[in-house]
A = this chain, B = another copy of it.
Amino acid sequence: MAETGIEYVRMAEFAWNRIEPEPGTYDFEWLEEAVELIGERGMQVVLCTPTATPPKWLVDEYPSIRQETRDGTPKEFGSRRHYCFNSPAYRDESRRIIEAVASRFADNEYVVGWQTDNEFGCHETTHCYCDDCQSAFQSWLEEKYGSIADLNESWGNAFWSQEYASFAEIDLPGPTPAQEQHHPSRLLDYDRFASDSVAEYNRLHTELLRQANEEWFLTHNFMGDFPSIDAFDVTEDLDFAAWDCYPALVTQQAPDTPDPSSERGAELARVGDPDVVGMNHALYRGVSDGPFWSMETQSGDIRAFPYAPEPADGMVRLWSHQAAAHGCDTVSYFRWQRCRFGQEQYWGALNNYDGSPDRGLPEARQVAEEFDDLPDLDAPSGDVAMLVDYESLWAFDSELHTPEYDYWGHLRAYYRALRARGVTVDLVPTDRNLTDYEALIAPSLHLVDEELAERLAGYAADGGELLLTARSAMKDEHHKLRDELAPGPLSDALGARIVQHESLSPGSEMRTTYGGETYEYRTWAEWLTAEDATVVGRHSSGVATGEPAVVLNDHEDGHVGYVGVWPEPELADAITTDLLERADVQFGDRLPDLVRLTERDGYTWVTNFGSKPIEISSDADIVLGGPIVEGRDLSVVRAAPHEIEVNQSV
């Protein structure tokens, strides 16, 4: 490991039974020996609380710790994450094991930080339907609403006689006749409660770890695009966030990825979609509000359904550099050696299962050398931000309009357009200070309360460029429509209102004008009445023909715009470049397919995920690589993206 240039070793994330093979009997020797070996070779250790895998003896002693499915079936021992976040018994046991491992290593010089648990929520374990969760949910609601009358009013329980007489009457949302139609406000609060439960459980870890050694850094390895946990909330108790960067996995799972039976889909399964991966980097940079880690970086073939192709040559290196360019300070690979037993034998590693170097190892070694040659850089920070709001995501999923409306995919429509122009995009939560951004996009920001509306309007009033997109501010914070048309409390700033919406099938005509040109859109259409706003785009197909689709309003020193459709790439480019121009943000020509420019602290990574070489020309120094960037290769230039010209036909 040391010879490969590895600096940190993360380990013991599932080792509870080896640490405590029977109740109360601990065995740390093997782990201390490993830590010692690592430390002696100049590397540092990141340990993990082993709570993701309670041993069988623990499950048998406390059967109540098991999660339950919606219909009440307990989730049994035999994989991992078979515990409920709200189980008092499991919280006690967690405290016990965390204190034991933390105190044992509190003074160990080689242990520098901790990962809490592992991939919270994996295997659909954010939501549980056990009795402990039911009690906890009732308390959570009582805490939030105070009186049942307030809850009934806030949710709108008069509908279908759904009013409650007390908090004790409120069940978890189990099977009900209209399976896909639970009360949306009830589901939203249940989603909030479930995410809060994870945050609370994570806090249990961080408090104990900080008590043991306040010097340690604390992180957690989130999963890409993971929908059910608010990563901003959980990270408030951490020093920074990490995510497990498997480009083949997140790309195959993204609804906007072409089918793998197409040539394009097959290629992406080998290289990953740079914007699917990149937006995750941007998300966890935003979650961390600064540099982040890639705790598990794909280092070979992985069991990513439905297909598990080998990565193209060079991708392990390219993914590592892409992460660094986006603000990742530590690229940690999963894993050193392929495991020879258990569930993850089909999950590649730097070394093959016989211990021999696998394809990724020389690439990782090269990365280590190249990173050593680069200066220490501050994390990137963009002039443009996109708001991320998990509650809006949950709101869509708890009241599905059309199965094709994917929250992340909608964000990506704008993210892709900006990235194709080399622009750095920050993904930030709604409560972040926004004043420094030149332009701010609020894509499908569905739930907006008065306070947020005021801040957003204020942002524009103070000279900011605010762009709202489809379905933004349609609902109040309880997931209800208002008694005024959307965008409700933002309507004055926008100078327009949304009067209609519809979801559309791929067989429909979906065209709108924008700036005099005609463009395609997909999936969703709204049309507006423009009271004060200027109509900059009008529907040119369907029922909405002639109606405003895109509007722009002067709001004091800035602008507020609204895009009432889900734009296809050409329209997204036109809209975002206009936004950049209004905001006076510099940008370059549209980049070739799969080529991206990513700036970090004055250095720009030119990454080529495609198979064909490109040529770059710039007056600035190329500090890594050269002017010809081969397929799956990269260069680093000391210049801003818009100062670099990219030519595909070499």
Nearest residue (CB) in B for A164 is B56
Question: Quick one: which of A8-48 are within 8 Å of B by CB?
Answer: 14-18, 21-22
Residue A340 at the B interface, CB < 8 A? yes
Which B residues lie within 8 Å of A346 (CB)? 399, 401
Which B residues lie within 8 Å of A125 (CB)? 177
Name A159's contact: one of B171, B185, B339, B359 (CB within 8 Å). Answer: B339
B81 close to A484 (CB less than 8 A): no
Segment with Cβ contacts to B, from A193-201, A232-240, A307-315, A413-421? A307-315
Residue A576 at the B interface, CB < 8 A? no
Please encode chain A, from 335 to 371, with 1 for each CB lying within 8 Å of some chain B CB and 0 for all others: 0001111111110000011111001000000000000
Nearest residue (CB) in B for A156 is B341
Nearest residue (CB) in B for A504 is B309
Number of copies of this chain that the complex holds:
3
A264 close to B57 (CB less than 8 A): no
Residue A320 at the B interface, CB < 8 A? no
Residue A480 at the B interface, CB < 8 A? yes
Task: Give the shortest distance, in Å, between A448 (CB) and chain B (any CB).
Answer: 15
Residue A139 at the B interface, CB < 8 A? no
A507 close to B266 (CB less than 8 A): yes
Please encode chain A, from 159 to 178, with 1 for each CB lying within 8 Å of some chain B CB and 0 for all others: 11111110001010111111
Residue A612 at the B interface, CB < 8 A? no
Task: Give the shortest distance, in Å, between A336 (CB) and chain B (any CB).
Answer: 15
Given A17-B163, A159-B341, A481-B340, A261 and B78 contact (CB-CB distance below 8 Å): no
Nearest residue (CB) in B for A338 is B481
Given A21-B163, A123-B178, A507 and B262 contact (CB-CB distance below 8 Å): yes
A483 close to B162 (CB less than 8 A): no
A394–B21 Cα gap in the complex (Å)?
31
Which B residues lie within 8 Å of A499 (CB)? 352
A24–B175 Cα gap in the complex (Å)?
28
Name A71's contact: one of B73, B156, B157, B186 (CB within 8 Å). Answer: B73
Task: Report, as a range, how many residues of chain A touch the other chain.
Answer: 35 or more
Residue A553 at the B interface, CB < 8 A? no
B159 close to A16 (CB less than 8 A): no
Residue A69 at the B interface, CB < 8 A? yes
Please encode chain A, from 483 to 504, with 1 for each CB lying within 8 Å of some chain B CB and 0 for all others: 1110000000000000111111
Which B residues lie within 8 Å of A158 (CB)? 17-18, 341-342
A159 close to B343 (CB less than 8 A): yes
Task: Give the shortest distance, in Å, between A90 (CB) and chain B (any CB).
Answer: 14
Name A261's contact: one of B50, B176, B505 (CB within 8 Å). Answer: B505
B266 close to A508 (CB less than 8 A): yes
B78 close to A183 (CB less than 8 A): yes
Task: Give the shortest distance, in Å, between A377 (CB) and chain B (any CB).
Answer: 32
B22 close to A165 (CB less than 8 A): yes
B266 close to A505 (CB less than 8 A): yes
6 A-B contacts, Cβ less than 8 Å apart? A17-B162, A56-B164, A185-B341, A340-B481, A353-B481, A353-B482
User: Nearest 4 pairs between A and B by C-beta?
Assistant: A156-B341, A159-B342, A266-B507, A260-B505
A56-B162, A122-B177, A260-B505 known, 20 other contacts, Cβ within 8 Å? A56-B163, A71-B73, A79-B176, A79-B177, A79-B182, A80-B177, A122-B178, A123-B177, A123-B178, A159-B341, A160-B342, A185-B341, A265-B505, A266-B504, A301-B501, A303-B401, A310-B502, A346-B399, A355-B483, A359-B500
Q: Which residues of A are at the interface with B, using a C-beta cutoff of 8 A?
A: 14-18, 21-22, 50, 53-57, 60, 67, 69, 71-82, 122-125, 155-165, 169, 171, 173-179, 181-186, 259-266, 269-270, 301, 303, 305-313, 338-346, 352-356, 359, 399, 401-404, 478, 480-485, 499-509, 542-544
